[in-house]
Structure 1
């Protein structure tokens, strides 16, 4: 996946949404048709003699109460899945990505509108090895040139 961390991605199995009255069918359909924010990309890797194909992880949502998140929903997809994916929104120029580590497989933990908001969020959430990455004009321009801008 060539989209930058922080992009909003929808996925689909290309089937029609069942009517509301079919609750079980609708719940199953929603598992295969939803959206989330791209938070991690991993290349091909191996564990022992087993090769794992590249994958990416989307943050679908949070559940909790009174400002406390108790459950985070992350979905990881292999690049060889039969689902279709479409980027509908990309991070904007000047947004700041807060990633958990300075490494190739870093995970996006927050996307802030500016550096001050990112630093404030970081002081409240405590990621000691976090790195701040600004969305640059070059990154935004590359998306326009390559025709990857979300509609």
Structure 2
């Protein structure tokens, strides 16, 4: 599916797979493999930004995928996130949607909320929030209505 479908229909916390439909090169071609990996992967949808119109420029809507955290002993050194425009030439698919009853920990910055953490339940979300202080964080439960609307409107995970 094209990128704008992810922006329009995927909910925060969904796992999104992106790919360019090219075959994976053999391991011995390290540079080609690195280039292929930059255009083929999986991430969790953490933010959607609306289009922006400014006097000097305009930008299309975009979304950000969190691909992983790197570090050790519970200390995150690098957090890998990639932002894609709705005009991206890559193909996207919704691999997994947040489960009913899971709780999003969101932070409100600017025009749209950002997903900080996806917890299995409200207690787990509150524990995470207590150990990770954010000034504008709030909780949002994934409801059966949200998941049901996805199924009724034909947005089931691909």
**Fold in common (TM above 0.5):** yes
TM-score norm. by structure 1 comes to 0.96
CA distance in structure 2 between the aligned counterparts of 1:8 and 1:104, rounded to whole angstroms: 22
CA root-mean-square deviation: 1.2
Aligned structure 1 segments of 4 or more residues deviating by more than 4 angstroms: none
CA distance in structure 2 between the aligned counterparts of 1:142 and 1:77, rounded to whole angstroms: 25
Structure 2 residue aligned with 1:118, among 121, 125, 146? Answer: 125
1:150 matched to 2:129? The reply is: no
1:19 matched to 2:26? The reply is: yes
Aligned residue in 1 for 2:140: 133
Per the alignment, do residues 113 and 71 of structure 1 end up closer, same or farther by CA in structure 2, a change over 3 Å counting? same
Is the 1:39–1:107 contact (alpha carbons within 8 Å) kept by the matching residues of 2? Answer: yes
Deviations 1:87-120 (CA, angstroms, capped at 9, x unpaired): 0000010000001127641110000000000000
Aligned residue in 1 for 2:70: 63
TM-score norm. by structure 2 comes to 0.91
Q: Aligned residue pairs: how many? A: 151
Structure 1 unmatched ranges of 5 or more: none
CA distance in structure 2 between the aligned counterparts of 1:47 and 1:104, rounded to whole angstroms: 15
Aligned residue in 1 for 2:51: 44
Deviations 1:67-90 (CA, angstroms, capped at 9, x unpaired): 111110000000001001000000
